[in-house]
């Protein structure tokens, strides 16, 4: 792990002054952690570099390796967030992930909650994907994909996961973009075991861009993803006994904050109407009957059907290659 020089005393002063962030829904400021306070390097050797007195992290991918970090604690529910700036230019095959998982502990029945950023060829926008697995339910991909109302390589934007006992909400810049509610029919398929928080950058050439048609071009390396404003606000648990360390009032505040206000719901509906390009609940080529937790929104169904009648209208599909996840193999705000 390397600690880079700040390069500017002004930047250092600003960084040190930024010790908390206001989170809409919690109605309060939540502390921002330095890297050493909450995280450890996962892999990547010198491809992980600390900046701004340890309050920002750069992860890079080159021909030798990708890189990543992981939270020091396991958490059973919480609010997890980071401001992220993605690599620019040609990024085909590059995958940046900000996610929760317990796959290192529960090999056959792991849980996972993902933000995945899937690179693209020059001139095309980064694509963002959210996904959820529970109790090893990897045969049922719960993916949604979206375009964004901004270029995520131009500046930092906040990406957040709120996970409670009853639901999961994904946010971008404090705008909810996806709400996933627990249902009785799901049984154990809702993530319910303690998880760690991860951030990684790696080579997903085999599937990430057009099913592997466009691969990582290391002529443009290193690819650098920048992380700052790191937040771990949740119920930390002992990694051996799985007993809560500090979960007295946190669970109650998480449940209260999971209530989406009418204003937030309006923004979420607008985002999904304008920017969602894929939702597993409507994929008639994968699921003849929607998975049990799906609640079909007729307006979403109609829009997606017009967007891609083959996938969402039940038409016939030419044989293609469905991607396989590879992480395990490498240890409008204003206009919405």
Q: What is the pLDDT of residues 2-57, one digit of tens each?
A: 666 444 333 333 333 334 555 666 655 788 999 999 999 999 999 999 999 999 99
Largest CA distance in the chain: 60
Whether the per-residue pLDDT at 329 is higher than 50: the answer is no
pLDDT, tens only, 241-273: 766 666 766 776 787 788 899 999 999 999 999
| pLDDT beyond 80 at 326 | no
* Residue 112 a catalytic site member: yes
Dist. CA 236–CA 167, nearest whole Å? 18
Q: Which of 37, 63, 116, 226 is catalytic?
A: 116
Phi, psi of 111 (to 5 degrees): -110, 155
Catalytic residue (choose from 37, 63, 112, 143): 112
pLDDT in tens, 267-300: 999 999 999 999 999 999 999 999 988 989 999 9
Average pLDDT over residues 129-148: 91
Evaluate the CA torsion angle 276, 103, 101, 87 in order and state its sign: negative
H or E stretch covering 141? none
């Amino acid at each position: 792990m390397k600690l880079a020089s700040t390069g500017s005393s002004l930047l250092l002063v600003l960084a040190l002054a930024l010790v908390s962030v206001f989170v809409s829904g919690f109605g309060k400021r939540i502390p921002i952690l330095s890297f050493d306070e909450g995280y450890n390097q996962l892999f990547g050797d010198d491809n992980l570099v600390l900046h701004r007195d340890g309050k920002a992290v750069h992860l890079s991918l080159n021909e030798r390796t990708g890189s990543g970090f992981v939270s020091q604690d396991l958490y059973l529910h919480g609010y997890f967030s980071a401001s992220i700036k993605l690599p620019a230019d040609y990024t085909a095959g590059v995958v940046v992930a900000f996610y929760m998982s317990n796959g290192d502990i529960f090999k056959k029945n792991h849980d996972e909650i993902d933000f995945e950023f899937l690179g693209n060829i020059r001139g095309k926008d980064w694509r963002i994907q959210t996904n959820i697995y529970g109790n090893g339910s990897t045969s049922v991909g719960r993916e949604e994909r979206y375009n964004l109302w901004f270029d995520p390589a131009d500046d930092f934007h906040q990406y957040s996961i709120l996970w409670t006992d009853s639901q999961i909400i994904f946010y971008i810049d404090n705008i909810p973009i996806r709400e996933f509610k627990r249902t009785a029919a799901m049984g154990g398929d809702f993530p319910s075991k303690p998880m760690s928080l991860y951030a990684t950058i790696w080579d997903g050439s085999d599937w990430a861009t057009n099913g592997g048609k466009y691969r990582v071009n290391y002529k443009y390396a290193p690819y650098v993803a920048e992380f700052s404003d790191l937040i771990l606000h949740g119920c930390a648990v002992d990694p051996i006994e799985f007993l809560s360390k500090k979960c007295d009032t946190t669970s109650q505040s998480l449940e209260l904050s999971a209530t989406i206000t009418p204003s937030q719901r309006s923004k979420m509906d607008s985002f999904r109407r304008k920017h969602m390009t894929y939702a597993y609940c409507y994929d008639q080529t994968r699921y003849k009957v929607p998975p049990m937790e799906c609640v079909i929104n007729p307006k979403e169904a109609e829009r997606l059907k017009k967007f891609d009648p083959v996938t969402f209208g039940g038409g016939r599909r030419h044989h293609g290659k469905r991607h396989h996840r590879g992480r395990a193999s490498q240890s409008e705000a204003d206009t919405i």
